[in-house]
Chain A
Amino acid sequence: MSILKVDNLCKNFGGVRAVDGLNFEINQGEIFGLIGPNGSGKSTTINVICGLYQPSEGSIFLEGKKINGLKPNQCVDVGISRTFQNIRLFGDLTVWQNLWVAWRDDKNNQSSWFSNWFGRSETQEKLISELLNFSGLESRANDLASNLSFGEQRRLELARAVASKPKLIFLDEPAAGMNKEEVKELRERIFRLRDLGITIFLVEHVMDLVMNVSNRITVLNFGKAIAEGDPESVQKDKSVQEAYFGQ
């Protein structure tokens, strides 16, 4: 069953066409990879789907419902969350407070805004401690986010994306600047998220990671999809090799 469907998506910035007629469909529970050389429109694609930009043309469907034109905070409400290419945390809040800000109540739990704002629930406490456990940051729960090391900040960002209980997570280059060991840990975490039933949309330059975790991959170049399929067939594709290494 498809969770996200993108139909003829285009995004223009002035005369530049950053995303040009992109079509793809992501199935429930799979890990979908989007790769491409620098400037090929990967981040723009994420930003359009997450509501940062309005698409110039085309439509986006989440579980069959059209979601173009939603504001970023409404996109989170319908079940999309993301991490950022450059780490963005609330530096003057502590680790657990960072998770807390991103926390969303269950949709079916109709508690009022008052109890959301001025009360604290046990489910919230439980989720936060699970997330701290998930990211291996229990011992640093009360440290300021700005005092964390680079790897810890990346882990916190991933945990924060999970805190809003999303159906679909966009990971924008989660392995940038990581060493081999950290990439391995990240891979484990991505698999754990998939096992929880969360669909993952992975944008990455570290080929080792993308080729190992993705079920399907789409390759972008100059805003157009030039190849799609499983990791092996994409690796062998002529046009992909040309896009990356030249002719």
Chain B
Amino acid sequence: MEFLQTCLDGLLFGSAYSLLALSFSLLFGVMKRVNLAFGSSLLLSAVFALWVDSILSVGIIGIFLVMLGSSAIINIYVEKICFYPHRGNYGAIVSMISSFAIWMQLDDLSSFLLPDRTASFPSFLPDSFFIIDLFIRIDQLFLFFIAVLMTGVFFYVLYKTNYGLLLRGVSFDGELARKLGVNSSRISSFAFAFSGVFGAIAAFLILSTESQVTPFFGFWCTLKGLVAMMLGGIGSLPGAIIGGLFLGLIESNVINYLGAEYRDICTYLILLFILVVKPGGIMGSAILRDERAASERI
């Protein structure tokens, strides 16, 4: 029963990792870009929403909406500053490094808005219940269902709409798409805004289950999202989901059976093992066959 409980906890929290990894995968799998500033943009949007709340007291729904909007705008800003100028085939490394600089900038902006270092974040549905001895928090269950729902939305947009089609076309050959009349820069700005909104929903749910925001949240998001993405398979969308859930399972079991101090060691050992045995990640065989993606893997 104890094992079941840890696995359940791991899966529920792992769904948050899945959401973060999906946002990374949208940009990596589709745009072939790594956005290191992503976590910081989520932190800044959360801190900004709290700041707006402290002035206008917009309430929890208001905080949520402000987070969505500001995250979309911040991500478009990041795209315009460090990805748009390097949108050719060989800009992957340059744009990754410049996104590192933007990461620092956004983190500094957040600490400017968060002078006390830590602020409490409003939580919603703080109840919990038991199913046959299994302890379940309602907000975590909610997080899990939202993660499932948003994964569906994600796949729908990418594979069933014109926009998703254009996005995949632009990612395959941006120059060709432009010659065929596709406004590539608008498509790619929208992809960043989309990943920002997506990440902001994830960040809101994670922060309200934790009920506090610290300056390390941005780094934490980037790290967990990237690790989950690498575990699951770089650039593969189903892989991002599996990687996130897997990461959650590993962490909760290690914390329960070995202790919290072994959590990161074990996570990275397993990541190392998977990257050695299967370099593309769990679901990554397909992406490795794609030479273009393989040559841009970082």
| Chain B 172-200 near chain A by CB (<8 Å), digits 1 or 0 | 11001111111110000000000000000
What's the nearest-Cβ distance from chain A to residue B298, in Å? 21
CB distance from B248 to the nearest CB of A (A): 31
Report whether B166 and A82 are in contact in the complex, using a CB–CB cutoff of 8 Å.
Answer: no
B183 to chain A: which residues have CB within 8 Å? 73
Is A97 interfacial (CB-CB < 8 Å)?
A: yes
Q: Which of A103-147 contact B (CB under 8 A)?
A: 104, 116-120
Contact status A90-B169, CB under 8 Å:
yes
Q: Which of B124-132, B141-149, B157-165, B209-217 makes up part of the contact surface?
A: B157-165
Q: Chain A's nearest CB lies how many Å from the CB of B164?
A: 9
Q: How far is the CA of A73 from the CA of B38 in the complex (A)?
A: 30
Instruction: Say whether, besides A93-B165, A97-B165, A118-B163, A102 and B180 are in contact (CB < 8 Å).
Output: yes
Interface centre among A88, A90, A97, A104 (most CB of B within 10 A): A90
B contacts with A: majority SS = helix
Inter-chain contact A101/B178, CB cutoff 8 Å: no
Is A183 in the interface zone, CB < 8 Å from B?
no
Would you call B163 and A104 a contact (CB within 8 A)?
A: no
| B263 adjacent to chain A (CB < 8 Å) | no
**Contact between A100 and B181, CB atoms less than 8 A apart:** no
Interface string of A63-92 (1 = CB under 8 A from B): 000000001110111000110000010111
Contacts of A90 in B (CB 8 A): 168-169, 172-173, 176-177
Residue of A nearest to B170 (CB): A101
Given A73-B183, A101-B177, A164-B180, are A91 and B172 also a contact pair (CB < 8 Å)? yes
Q: Chain A residues near B178: list those with CB within 8 A.
A: 71-73
In the bound assembly, the distance between CA atoms of A91 and B171 in angstroms comes to 11
Residues of A in contact with B, size category:
20 to 34
Contacts of B181 in A (CB 8 A): 72-73, 75-77, 81, 102, 104, 164
State in angstroms the CA–CA spacing of A90 and B173 once bound together: 7
Whether A93 lies near B172 (C-beta < 8 A) is yes
Residues from chain B with a CB closer than 8 A to the CB of A92 are 168, 172, 290
Known: A88-B173, A90-B172, A93-B172. A101 touches B165 (CB 8 A): yes
Q: Is A10 an interface residue (CB 8 A)?
A: no
**Complex: how many Å from CA A117 to CA B166?**
9
CB pair B162 A93 closer than 8 Å: no
A82 to B165, CA, bound (A): 20
Inter-chain contact B180/A100, CB cutoff 8 Å? no
Closest A residue to B190 by beta carbon equals A117
Q: From residue B114, how far is it (CB to closest CB) to chain A in Å?
A: 35
Q: Are B179 and A119 interface neighbours, CB within 8 A?
A: no
Question: Knowing A73-B183, A88-B176, A104-B181 touch, does A117 contact B169 (C-beta < 8 A)?
Answer: no
Cα(A52)–Cα(B182), bound, Å: 14
In angstroms, how far is the closest chain A Cβ from the Cβ of B76? 15
Q: Contact: A50 with B168, CB < 8 Å?
A: no
Report the separation of the CA atoms of residues A120 and B184 in the bound assembly, to the nearest whole angstrom.
20
Give the residues from 144 to 195 in chain A that come closer than 8 angstroms, CB to CB, to chain B. Answer: 160, 164
Residue of B nearest to A52 (CB): B179
The complex places the Cα of A118 from the Cα of B163 at a distance, in Å, of: 6
Complex partner residue of A72 from B173, B179, B290, CB under 8 angstroms: B179
Q: B285: shortest Cβ distance to chain A, in Å?
A: 15
- The listed residue (B161, B168, B172, B176) touching A118 by CB distance below 8 A is B161
B163 and A117 form a contact (CB under 8 A): yes
State how many angstroms separate the Cβ of A159 from the closest Cβ of chain B: 12
Tell me how far the C-beta of A153 lies from the nearest C-beta in chain B, rounded to whole angstroms: 13
Q: How far is the CB of A14 from chain B (nearest CB, A)?
A: 21
Complex contact A119–B162 (CB within 8 A): yes
- Smallest Cβ distance from A168 to chain B, in angstroms? 13
CB of A15 to closest CB in B, whole Å: 26
Could you list which residues of chain B lie within 8 angstroms of chain A, going by C-beta atoms? 157, 161-163, 165-166, 168-169, 172-173, 176-184, 290
Using a CB–CB cutoff of 8 Å, the interface residues on chain A facing chain B are 50, 52, 71-73, 75-77, 81-82, 88, 90-93, 97, 100-102, 104, 116-120, 160, 164
- 20 additional A-B pairs beyond A90-B172, A120-B161, beta carbons within 8 Å, are A52-B179, A72-B181, A73-B180, A73-B181, A73-B183, A75-B181, A76-B179, A76-B180, A81-B181, A88-B173, A90-B177, A92-B168, A93-B169, A100-B165, A104-B181, A117-B163, A117-B166, A118-B161, A118-B162, A118-B163
Would you list 14 pairs from A and B whose C-beta atoms are within 8 A, ordered by A residue? A50-B179, A52-B179, A72-B181, A73-B181, A75-B181, A90-B173, A90-B176, A90-B177, A92-B168, A93-B168, A101-B169, A101-B177, A117-B166, A118-B161
Q: Nearest 4 CB-CB pairs, A to B?
A: A76-B181, A117-B163, A101-B169, A102-B180
